[in-house]
Amino acid sequence: MKTSMASQSPSQSTKAHAFVELQRRIIEIESPICLGIDPSHKTLPRFLYDDARRQGASEELALEEALVAFASALLRAANGLAAVCKPQIAYFEAFGIPGLKAFQRILKLAHEAGFLAIADVKRGDIGSTSKAYADAFLGETQGFKSKRQRAFEADFVTLHPYMSDDSVLPFLETALEYGRGCFVLARTSNPSAANFQSLRLDDGRQVMDVIADHIERWGESSRDRQYGLSAVGAVVGATCPEEARRMRQRMPHSFFLIPGYGAQGGVASDAVAGFREDGLGAVVNASRSIANAYQKHGLAIEDFERAARLEMIEMREKIGDALRHHV
Amino acid sequence: MKTSMASQSPSQSTKAHAFVELQRRIIEIESPICLGIDPSHKTLPRFLYDDARRQGASEELALEEALVAFASALLRAANGLAAVCKPQIAYFEAFGIPGLKAFQRILKLAHEAGFLAIADVKRGDIGSTSKAYADAFLGETQGFKSKRQRAFEADFVTLHPYMSDDSVLPFLETALEYGRGCFVLARTSNPSAANFQSLRLDDGRQVMDVIADHIERWGESSRDRQYGLSAVGAVVGATCPEEARRMRQRMPHSFFLIPGYGAQGGVASDAVAGFREDGLGAVVNASRSIANAYQKHGLAIEDFERAARLEMIEMREKIGDALRHHV
């Protein structure tokens, strides 16, 4: 299988993939934080919607504007504290077309404000369908229009591994063509993650180990010279430090997206378990704990932007401290 | 684990889930076909776009109209031959917002034309995010608007199992609340499916067997009295008949969505391997082989609707024959 896998990997890319730029920026700001943007109907501040309505927007447009204003405020708060943001598409799809218009605008806005952007879409399908998704989020599409266009301007997407090569390689090929990247779910942060991911195989490995070995091989030919990072990253939760250490050993060349910090219960010392020994190769995501920090800081919801900044400053310190003790 | 799983399942529903209605309609038309709607830029007929442009539509609107016209034609062709359709969202996302507007309209149109609709979105995430997706495709959302609305009017969604309970139970709860259903990927039809799905565990089972056992348990409390179908269906490919038979044994109460017929290489005798002995409990999907049937029938692309109907008539006959030999 190793041979056939290697032969299916795209050949060495000439254009640097986006993990190189992401690592460079993280080093520059000394903060491996990913700003999650999850505007659920509980998290999205109502006053943003009311503001838009007062300015004459229809209900649909006011929703779109509120979502964009929410993300804009969080991006301002994250200036110099996060190199990358991660809007979760579920919270936009739940609002229908206005939500998806906002999702599209937020990706653009993030780039204009100097952030890289992960579209947290967790896709994965048969080859032809994965190619359509890859075009949508990482590449370009034309249809019959006069010029090629980007549908959704992401630098990275998140992917489900269950269907294997057919679900990942079309994204990898598109990522290498356009200088982008992808993250494959390896060990997720949710309570029921272990049900399938920790199943023990007859050769002693767990399912997540096999996925990890595939991720390492899928990315083999795309490693960059400066940081040794491949174009295939991995999602490894902040809630499972022992497994994160094992995942790091099996995937020395993958950049890790580490969700589960904050609202999901992961603390800084656990969150850094998946970092490389040199303190590189990973980013810790927080979403709800940042957007809802005004509650913790005893501030009004109108001050959520300021509270989000305070929360990210604190998060950067905690993760920095934990990294200094990380071996 | 069995005990904790059972306690996490929603209690017996009072509203019939959508698999009951789907089974009833399949029996009525004597045709277990699912019409896949996959308008890739290669499949979508250019003349539909040109027609819309000639009528003065902008490039964006013409694309939306072409996608809707494509689906409308296929739905007309499927009248009395398919009880359910399955638009694959990747092909709509690739066209950006006009694509997603078309996706939304096509789900509505399908219902108006008397079809049930599967949103083939293959979602799956942590609990709070899965709930947002479930609201988007099976339930309702309100945001701050004056009334609750459906974002995307599907009767069923497809789901990735990798994150387990957290990925499935929020959809199941929403499905039971609104009388809908979900399909979880068990054994997919793509060439690399076996890489992870067939991994052998230390207890002798394969990964797909464990997923199947979970699907059977997740659905346990939602079985209907007439057909014995649960609200948790399974995706089992037409390209793996031996495994489909095993999947049927492990999931006697799940409705199967069987992709891979036609363009992906599955033939009728293989496709029916996952049906119950009474010939019920499954639907065979075809997408490209229906939309592109004009080529096989030596017709012009302008006749794709007529060719699609011929193809579905032939498909119904072949599957009917195969079912008569199915034990």
Any B CB within 8 A of A201 CB:
yes
Mutate to test the interface with A, among B2, B59, B100 (most CBs of A within 10 A): B100
User: For residue range A237-247, what is the model confidence (pLDDT) as tens digits?
Assistant: 999 999 999 99
Of A41, A145, A185, the CB nearest to B63: A145
Please identify among residues 265-324 of chain A the ones whose CB lies closer than 8 Å to any CB of chain B: none
Minimum CA–CA partner of A126 in chain B: B190
DSSP bridge partners of A235? A185, A257
Three-state SS annotation for A259-284: CCECCCCECHHHHHHHCCCCCCCEEE
Confidence of residue B10 (pLDDT cuts 50, 70, 90): very low
For chain A, where are the alpha helices, taking DSSP H only? 2-8, 18-29, 46-54, 59-77, 90-93, 96-112, 127-137, 165-178, 194-197, 207-218, 241-250, 268-271, 288-291, 293-296, 304-324
**Cα–Cα distance measured from residue B275 to residue B259, given in angstroms and rounded to the nearest whole number:** 13
**Is the model's pLDDT at A255 over the cut of 90?**
yes
**Cα–Cα distance measured from residue B286 to residue B274, given in angstroms and rounded to the nearest whole number:** 16
Any A CB within 8 A of B58 CB:
no
**Is the model's pLDDT at B115 over the cut of 80?**
yes
Any A CB within 8 A of B128 CB:
yes
**Is the model's pLDDT at A191 over the cut of 50?**
yes
Any B CB within 8 A of A239 CB:
no
Any B CB within 8 A of A100 CB:
yes
**Cα–Cα distance measured from residue B310 to residue B255, given in angstroms and rounded to the nearest whole number:** 27
Confidence of residue B13 (pLDDT cuts 50, 70, 90): very low
- B56: Cβ–Cβ under 8 A, 6 or more apart, which residues? none
**Cα–Cα distance measured from residue A109 to residue A85, given in angstroms and rounded to the nearest whole number:** 11
Span B118-131, mean pLDDT?
97
Span B200-221, mean pLDDT?
98
Give the active site residues of B.
122
Any A CB within 8 A of B237 CB:
no
**Cα–Cα distance measured from residue B191 to residue B181, given in angstroms and rounded to the nearest whole number:** 27
ipTM above 0.85, yes or no: yes
Percent of chain A surpassing pLDDT 70 = 96
User: For residue range A58-82, what is the model confidence (pLDDT) as tens digits?
Assistant: 999 999 999 999 999 999 999 999 9
- Torsional class of B224: left (φ above 0), alpha (ψ -120 to 50), beta (otherwise): beta
HSE at residue A137, side-chain half, CA atoms within 13 A, is 35
Of A151, A185, A200, the CB nearest to B94: A151
Mutate to test the interface with B, among A7, A43, A122, A287 (most CBs of B within 10 A): A122
* pLDDT for residue A327: 72
Neighboring chain B residues of A185 at a CB cutoff of 8 Å: 162-163
Span B123-137, mean pLDDT?
97
* pLDDT for residue A14: 55
Span B42-68, mean pLDDT?
96
Q: How far apart are the first and last CA of chain B?
A: 34
Asked if A132 and B197 come within 8 Å (Cβ–Cβ), the reply is no
**Cα–Cα distance measured from residue B188 to residue B195, given in angstroms and rounded to the nearest whole number:** 11
**Is the model's pLDDT at B1 over the cut of 60?**
no
Asked if B152 and A93 come within 8 Å (Cβ–Cβ), the reply is yes
Neighboring chain B residues of A54 at a CB cutoff of 8 Å: none
For B45-193, where are the alpha helices, taking DSSP H only? 46-54, 59-77, 90-93, 96-112, 127-137, 165-178
* pLDDT for residue B14: 55
Specify the DSSP class assigned to residue B255.
Answer: P
Q: What is the sign of the dihedral through the CA atoms of A10, A14, A19 and A23? A: positive
**Is the model's pLDDT at B3 over the cut of 50?**
no
What value does the mean pLDDT of chain B take?
94
Neighboring chain A residues of B100 at a CB cutoff of 8 Å: 97, 100
Span A291-316, mean pLDDT?
97
Tokens at residue A61, please?
């447009």
Tokens at residue B307, please?
């060719």
Of B95, B141, B166, the CB nearest to A94: B141
Residue A274 and residue A248 in contact, taking contact as beta carbons nearer than 8 Å: yes
- For residue A98, the one-letter residue type is P
Interhelix angle A165-178/A207-218, rounded to 10 degrees, is: 30
Any B CB within 8 A of A123 CB:
yes
Specify the DSSP class assigned to residue B221.
Answer: G
The DSSP bridge pattern shows strands B156-159 and A282-286 to be unpaired
Mutate to test the interface with B, among A103, A162, A188, A200 (most CBs of B within 10 A): A162
What's the gap in Å between the CA of A321 and the closest CA on chain B? 28
For B219-254, where are the alpha helices, taking DSSP H only? 241-250
Residue B57 and residue B65 in contact, taking contact as beta carbons nearer than 8 Å: yes
Specify the DSSP class assigned to residue A235.
Answer: E
- What three-state secondary structure class fits B311? helix
What's the gap in Å between the CA of B35 and the closest CA on chain A? 16
- Candidates A33, A98, A30; CA nearest to A69 is A98
